[in-house]
Amino acid sequence: MLIIALNPHLGYDWVAPVAPKADQEPKNRRQAGVELGDFTVTEFHPWVQPNPMTPPHPSRDNFQG
């Protein structure tokens, strides 16, 4: 899921190989992308923000609505 956040910055063709590399080797997505040369660690962190990508969930996030 986090790889999708990189699409607006790099495009699908650059991002697509990151997930398979991370799955084949014992690495996380950030490590795999850095090794492929797609992005740096400093670029990754502002681009990939999981909290805004996940809506609140009524049963787990103290939902008051």
> Which parts of the chain have pLDDT scores under 70?
1, 57-65
pTM above 0.75, yes or no: no
Q: pLDDT tens digits for 16-29? A: 999 899 999 989 99
Measured in degrees and rounded to the nearest 5, phi and psi for residue 10 equal -120, -25
Q: Where are the domains of the chain?
A: 2-53
- What is the three-state SS of 1-55? CHHHHHHHHHCHHHHCCHHHHHHHCCCCHHHHHHHHCCCCHHHHHHHCCHHHHCC
- Superfamily in which the 2-53 domain is placed by CATH: Fumarase/aspartase (C-terminal domain) (1.10.40.30)
**pLDDT at position 57, please?**
64
